[in-house]
Amino acid sequence: MSHFLQLISTTILLTLALLSCSATGKQRSQTPSSVEASFGVVDTTHLSEGTTAEPYPMVKIPENIQEPLQRAKYVLEHFFDRWPAETLEQLVDPAAMEQGLVDYLAVYSSMPAGSVSQEDLLRPLKVMRGKALSEALRLYTKYLYESGSPLKNHTYYIQALQWATTSPQVEYVDQVVYKDMLSLVSQNQVGKPATDFAITLAQPAAEGYTFADTTLYALRDKPKVVIFYTPGCDRCTHLLAEVSHDQILQRATEGGKAEILYVSLVYERSEWKKGLADLPPFGTPAFNGDLRLLEESLYDLAVTPVIYVISSDGIVLQRDTSLAEVRRYVSTL
């Protein structure tokens, strides 16, 4: 299944459609967009043995509730009323649970600002126990945190992690894991100062390259697009090839409006140098000489490539962003 909307139940799609037509307040987001091909979602049209052909029972909205926003709020408040009791404690049907939680998060994410609370976001976690809760937390990670998810929202995910690290419903061992995750995800949030780190820059010379040591903060003359990549990574190779042919980024770089840094995530300087010729012809290759990026997890780089946009004064403007968003940003410079 390649399209996210195929995962959402018909009842929920109707709720979202009605909500999108409502003029009540400003929405947090529009109807969920298609998902990147690299992001896997459950395919409820091809179920494995032991799973049901139907999702868990959907909430029934009373006929006297007609206003779209009130209908959506009712869906959130009563979403789990008809789920079998055992599904809130055991992992009875992974496909049905995944569809249900995606439905829930899709409605929550589409609500106007101020119409829902943190309590609404955490409701699925609070009503579950045991293996069901563990799976729900995994799905929150998948849909609110992972790259490619149309529901990705680090603010929501941080709220879920904060709850998971303190709730007695969560096993202590899992709490430790989520505390580490919370520390990682909380770094370098949009609107906050980017973490500084030492870098060695490579500049083309008549014969080979010249190298200069500096820091991220020292490069304050223009906004920076920082692309963290791992040599040999297929997704990284594909992204860098796309950047190489991007005229918008090339014009912005060569026109002095923005700087692109290609930061290699390797431990050996010699390995970094071997791959310099494979990078785009514009922008600046970089290497973290003191290795703090990797050894101290200064940035959330679990899956590469990762793109950050950082202002000239060191503030994170975009985090774990897409090339399309970067293009839109540099076009405004």
Q: In CATH, what number is assigned to the domain containing residue 230?
A: 3.40.30.10
| Mean predicted lDDT score pLDDT of the chain | 85
Mean predicted confidence (pLDDT) in 61-74: 91
Whether the per-residue pLDDT at 49 is higher than 90: the answer is no
CA–CA dist 223, 333 (Å, integer): 9
What was the pLDDT predicted at 165? Answer: 96
Tell me whether residue 39 is in a domain: no
Return the percentage of the chain with pLDDT > 90, whole number: 69
Lowest mean pLDDT segment, chosen from 54-63, 173-182, 241-250, 280-289: 54-63
Q: Which residues on neighbouring strands pair with residue 259, listed in sequence order? A: 224
Tell me whether residue 316 is in a domain: yes
Nearest to 87 by CA among 45, 51, 40: 51
Tell me whether residue 85 is in a domain: yes
Residues 215 and 314 in one domain: yes
Residues 266 and 198 in one domain: yes
Residues 181 and 198 in one domain: no
- End residue of a domain, out of 186, 212, 229: 186
CB 224 within 8 A of CB 305: no
Tell me whether residue 128 is in a domain: yes
Per-residue model confidence as pLDDT tens digits over 263-310: 999 999 999 999 999 999 999 999 998 999 989 989 988 889 999 999
Residues 147 and 275 in one domain: no
Tell me whether residue 20 is in a domain: no
Tell me whether residue 49 is in a domain: no
Tell me whether residue 46 is in a domain: no
Residue with tokens 């926003």: 69
Q: Phi and psi of 180, rounded to 5°?
A: -65, -40
Residues 204 and 326 in one domain: yes
Whether the per-residue pLDDT at 74 is higher than 50: the answer is yes
- Confidence category of residue 54, pLDDT binned at 50, 70, 90: low
Whether the per-residue pLDDT at 35 is higher than 50: the answer is no
> What is the tally of structural domains in the chain?
2
Residues 152 and 230 in one domain: no
Mean predicted confidence (pLDDT) in 217-229: 94
204: its two tokens: 């083309």
- End residue of a domain, out of 186, 212, 235: 186
What was the pLDDT predicted at 8? Answer: 53
CA–CA dist 73, 141 (Å, integer): 23
Lowest mean pLDDT segment, chosen from 6-10, 151-155, 208-212, 238-242: 6-10
Residues 196 and 180 in one domain: no
Residue 244, domain extent: 192-331
Residues 274 and 324 in one domain: yes
Whether the per-residue pLDDT at 4 is higher than 80: the answer is no
What was the pLDDT predicted at 16? Answer: 52
What was the pLDDT predicted at 32? Answer: 33
Whether the per-residue pLDDT at 2 is higher than 90: the answer is no
What was the pLDDT predicted at 13? Answer: 52
Lowest mean pLDDT segment, chosen from 29-43, 186-200, 211-225, 249-263: 29-43
- Confidence category of residue 328, pLDDT binned at 50, 70, 90: very high
Angle between helices 247-254 and 323-330 (to 10 degrees): 50
149: its two tokens: 């998810």
What was the pLDDT predicted at 27? Answer: 39
Residues 244 and 178 in one domain: no
Residues 180 and 236 in one domain: no
Return the percentage of the chain with pLDDT > 70, whole number: 84
Residues 203 and 289 in one domain: yes
Sign of the C-alpha dihedral computed for residues 62, 64, 70 and 72 taken in this order: positive
Residues 202 and 309 in one domain: yes
Tell me whether residue 174 is in a domain: yes
What predicted TM-score, i.e. pTM, was given to this entire model? 0.72
CB 272 within 8 A of CB 263: no
- End residue of a domain, out of 186, 215, 247: 186
